[in-house]
Structure 1
Amino acid sequence: MWKEYYHAPGMYDFDYSLRRLSMDPLIRTNMKERYVDVPVRLENDRAVVRVKAEGDIEKPVFSVMSDHNEEQDVIFEHIRNIFQWDKDLNDIHQFFQQTELSMLFHQYQGTPIVRDFNLYDSLMKVIIHQQLNMKFAYTLSTRFVQTFGEEEDGSWFYPTPEKVASLEYDYLRNLQFSQRKAEYVIDTSRLIVDGELDLQKLSKLPNDEVLKTLGKIRGIGPWTVQNWLLFALGRDDLFPAADIGIQNALKKWWQLDEKPSKKDIEKKSMEWSPFRSYAALTLWRSIEG
């Protein structure tokens, strides 16, 4: 067992992140003890890593621990990138104090963007979740992982691209996937296995290049790509104007009788660049239960 500590540079609401993570039945969280167990897929192995809050929003400190005693530096760097601890959220807070969202950011201080744990897993999740209500979306992704993935120390690892590429469509149809969704999941995995889609290389490209590349793949539209950019890559400046939650949050914030149009939202959101992703996340947070 090894354990390291990290002091984040600015405010950080880890408890809120835990609440968001706990929405996914596949992720093991403990709100009382303030930790999450992160499944980490290494080059030739895998590890389960516990990330625990040791401080508060104003003075955030985290412990990172695991029984996996090899590749500690690789694991710690991976965890640091997932939770984006190097991002000073105080700077983002100050930026939004000069905008019409100032009170919203004052109310929900230190809201971080926590990345999904793995690029491939994230893409599979957003493909599965597209055009579904949240409850059934998580039901479907949970069935997918618990049927074809593997459990270790109470944490679930998504199946590998190789495993999914080898499946027949009917295997997913038996889990209540539509025929098209089964094809999107399996066919995209086959592109990755065949070397036609390299998610690691893609993750280094600008947003518009990622949108262009992923957008060519059957079954992957703008909503899916934007979600992958935001939650897999943790990009700072995305604003999904077509998202129903964003529209409802702005309807409430602007005190409108009807949801604002996508065009009006896109125009207004330019004032929140280069941190539009944080505006989106904070707006979503403002209408959560």
Structure 2
Amino acid sequence: MHWEDHHEILRIFAPQAFSFKENIDYLSRSTDECMFAIKDEKIYRALALENNTTVLIEISAENDRILEVRFLSGTTPENKAGRAEVARYVREWFDMDTDLEPFYQLAENDPLLHEPTSKFYGLRNVGLPDLFEALAWGILGQQINLSFAYTLKRRFVESFGEKVEGYWLFPRPERIASLNVQDLADLKMTRKKSEYLIGVAQLIANGELSKEKLLEVDFKTAEKMLVNIRGIGPWTAHYVLARCLGFPSAFPIDDVGLQNAIKLMLGYEQKPTKEEILHYAKNWSGWETYATFYLWRILY
């Protein structure tokens, strides 16, 4: 049993290689984050459940590894299924079901991974469990810096999301599917990105695309399904494969952040070539997602 149900409080037991502090430090990297708030080493956020109810939760940690999820403002789900759904979300958000020991063993003698894994031990591939949120974040972040991506996300969420006692829920795909490009004009992003967001929302809203369908197939098939969607190139596809679907071999090799991290680690004057990255990545087979995530972490 990976969690205990105490009705208003859930206790979630993390694996050995887990540090709440490292994960909360990662989540604190942007002051423009709008999907949750962090105060006094506790995370506060709203979650929409499958039965169309919303809960407000506070997540804290005991001894850095036992997470305590407290329901706020009388939003405790009365049935155990609802509480189990929240426990599953938190476990998935912090990727608690992945055994990281083999990755850390691999990283011990790796010239690029040894330093970040030592420095950020216990950091998890903090994900985006909701498929539409992951795709939207990937689209919003295309070809712009991280700071402006957060600005666009905040505008998008505050324009079309739902606010529950001060906390935002990400816009539902059904809401965005009914819009036209002009409805997104005030967000100040490219027309193409507006078209891509609406198109992806429509695919999810009408059932053509779902997280379940992507998880029913293998990695290469899921990648192909994603890149066949208008506006989803290899970078966005691998971002979603890693951050939402949990595929361990997702590898956005053309990512500028990854290139900059390797440049920094090796002391290069120029960004590494694709061939150079592939040379170093030979040892990462089956762990490309985590290798990328830890290298990204040294930049922020």
Q: TM-score over 0.5 for the alignment?
A: yes
Partner deviation per Cα, 1:137-172 (whole Å, 9 max, x = no partner)? 111111111111101132211121111111121011
Percent identical: 32
Matching residue within 42, 49, 55 for 1:47: 55
Alignment pair present for 1:83 and 2:94 = yes
Note if contact 2:211-2:245 (Cα within 8 Å) is conserved in structure 1: no
Task: Map 1:1-289 to 2 at 5 A.
Answer: 2-22=8-28, 23=30, 24-56=32-64, 60-66=65-71, 67-70=75-78, 71-100=82-111, 101-288=113-300
TM-score (normalised: structure 1): 0.91
Q: Secondary structure at the match of 2:122?
A: coil
Structure 1 residues 216 and 148, CA gap change in structure 2 (3 angstroms):
same
Note if contact 2:12-2:67 (Cα within 8 Å) is conserved in structure 1: yes
Structure 1 residues 156 and 244, CA gap change in structure 2 (3 angstroms):
same
Letter of the structure 2 residue corresponding to residue 49 of structure 1: I
Unaligned ranges ≥5, structure 1: none
- Cα separation, 2, equivalents of 1:218 and 1:98: 41
Note if contact 1:93-1:110 (Cα within 8 Å) is conserved in structure 2: no
- Cα separation, 2, equivalents of 1:80 and 1:38: 16
Letter of the structure 2 residue corresponding to residue 188 of structure 1: V
Note if contact 1:18-1:31 (Cα within 8 Å) is conserved in structure 2: no
Letter of the structure 1 residue corresponding to residue 69 of structure 2: V
Q: In terms of mean alpha carbon deviation, does 123-132 or 89-98 score higher? A: 89-98
* Paired residues, number: 285
Structure 1 residues 103 and 194, CA gap change in structure 2 (3 angstroms):
closer
Q: What residue in structure 1 maps to residue 3 of structure 2?
A: none
Unaligned ranges ≥5, structure 2: 1-6
